[in-house]
Copies of this chain bind each other. A is one copy, B any other.
Amino acid sequence: MKPTQSILSQILAEASELLGQGKVADYIPALARVPNNKLGIAVYTNEGEIITAGDAQEAFSIQSISKALSLTLAMMLYKPEEIWKRVGKEPSGQAFNSMIQLEMEQGIPRNPFINAGAIVVADLLQSRLSAPRQRLLEFVRQLSGDAHVVYDKVVAASEMMHSDRNAAIAYLMRSFGNFDNDVIPVLNNYFHACALKMNCVDLAKTFSYLANKGQCVHTKKQVVTATQSKQLNSLLATCGLYDGAGEFAYRVGMPGKSGVGGGIIAVVPGEMTIAVWSPELDKSGNSLAGTRALELLSERIGRSIF
């Protein structure tokens, strides 16, 4: 069955029963202020149709969803072995910001979606781009077709003021020889990427290349190769939802990436890209109602990769 506006509305109605049972991220004030009862969804099909419900047009902080964009950019700039000698492809089995495994495994992060791995990717972008922050913004504006996507400067500044843990991670990797640039500017770019402000429609359109063998649906531009698109999806499926990737695969069954702003993008390869948003998080740091909405969507339209 194809997703329709009426199915999406029904799904949100059901998923909204979970509102009030999660916890909005509060480690920086800018995130804590977001109203907790927001809920939106957008589906972008490979035929270019966009279907939405709820707060799908309201912009929010995409946070770790940006890690999938930065990795895509790095895969466009580097040979595979240049990336994968510096970061692994395996689930971590630990909290997203843990340093224990990083020390045990000699400064090589488990995958590009935990903080350490995303910081290595930011370091890679810093080494090869003259203005990585501007480049990422242009990239996202092109992919989303929305020229008004911006960095939320307040969020980025606030993250920078609470950057001690990430600085510790960067310095630890430097001590193992797995970090090439100065720590502060790399972290600054990393936090700006996290502070991208986008809505569900923007996000669903932005990631359409993952559902379409690497080709952006509306620009027809080949962003990455079909093989790279498959590889990106595999990494999202095994590592994209913090320490809740297994549960997400079990319930939703789509490659996905979440952020602590409450957004999640998910992919049905060959068919569609989906973005949901609801700020309250479950104990793994993934959107509570957002995950539920994706689970219901998977059931209703009978789509999953399994």
Binding site for B on A (CB under 8 A): 88-94, 98-101, 103-104, 110-111, 164-165, 167-172, 174-175, 229-231, 233-235, 237-239, 243-247, 249-250, 253, 255, 269, 304-306
Contacts and interface: CB of A to CB of B under 8 A. Distances in A.
Nearest to A104: B100
Given A100-B100, A237-B238, A237-B306, 10 more contacts: A90-B91, A90-B246, A98-B103, A99-B168, A100-B103, A111-B246, A164-B172, A168-B170, A168-B172, A234-B306
15 contacts: A90-B91, A90-B244, A90-B247, A111-B246, A164-B171, A167-B168, A168-B169, A168-B175, A229-B306, A231-B250, A234-B246, A234-B306, A237-B237, A239-B246, A305-B306
A4 to B, nearest CB: 22
Nearest to A306: B233
A90 B90 contact: no
Q: How many of these chains are in the complex?
A: 4
| Majority secondary structure, A binding face | helix
A91 B230 contact: no
A84 to B, nearest CB: 9
A234 B253 contact: yes
A238 B238 CA distance: 5
A20 to B, nearest CB: 23
